[in-house]
Amino acid sequence: MVFFRRWQPVKALSFDLDDTLYDNGPHIARAEAWMLAHLRSEYLAGAMLDAERWHACKRQVLLEDPALHHDVSLARRVSLGRALREGGMDGASAERAAAEVFAGFLAERSAIAVSASTHTLLAALARRYPLVAITNGNLDLARAGLDGYFRTVYKAGAGTLMKPAPDMFVAAARDLGLAPAEILHVGDHERSDVLGARRQGYRVAWLNDGQGDWRRLSQLPDLMLNRLEELGPLLLGHEWAPS
């Protein structure tokens, strides 16, 4: 752990989800593979849809409607519908199929592996502090086994802009009834988490388990973590007793 600013106690914590509480990459890759295999096996209109065609379809959808960059769920459903229509399915059937495939994808991407140490840490922190989650993603927290720790989960989409935009940070501070400086945001992303939270006056713990260079940051966090579990002694003191 490295401190960049003098430490002051906080009254609440906000957590990023993907790649902060778990390694998200393998789960997304597995869910994408399931989605393409399902489309090819279950729908004639998806029989020729390989990864290259799928990514081209997504790029075109985002090019035509840039607002979808802020809603990963809607962007995927729109892209699925478009891919199926391009494969010859009629519009109404494509929308129904897109909803079905998206539900399956979400279940697959939410079947994540969260370490026992992370569960222990979150449970201990939740007994002392109000915890909220602030995410650009679409994880189903109940399916992932993470829903019991957070008072509120803020997700981008439906008019709420992705981090580093202020929307979710402002909403969380307002709902917690705290000044931003009384909240510690914990996240891995240099722009979405560090820059986004610092701009709104949050305290920031940057999870740098990939050994990134802090000198590249446009704004410094309050502290840099090598492991998430380092929050335990800092925030819980003698109460921290990891299993």
Closest CA to 208 of 192, 229, 191, 228: 228
Sequence-distant (6+) residues with CB within 8 A of 229 are 117, 118, 121, 242
Out of 16, 18, 71, 188, the active site residue is 16
Q: Whole-angstrom Cα distance, residue 230 to residue 236?
A: 10
Query: Structure tokens of 130?
Result: 């109000």
Strand partners, 154: 134
Task: Check: CB of residue 48 under 8 Å from CB of residue 87.
Answer: yes
Task: Check: CB of residue 101 under 8 Å from CB of residue 80.
Answer: yes
Strand 203-207 to 12-15 pairing: unpaired
16 catalytic, yes or no? yes
Count other C-beta atoms under 10 Å from residue 193's C-beta.
28
Q: Which letter, b or e, does each residue of 58-76 get, where b requires 16 or more Cβ atoms within 10 Å of its Cβ?
A: beebeeeeeebebbbbbbb
Strand partners, 171: none
Q: Whose structure tokens read 């990514």?
A: 55
Residues acting as catalytic residues: 16
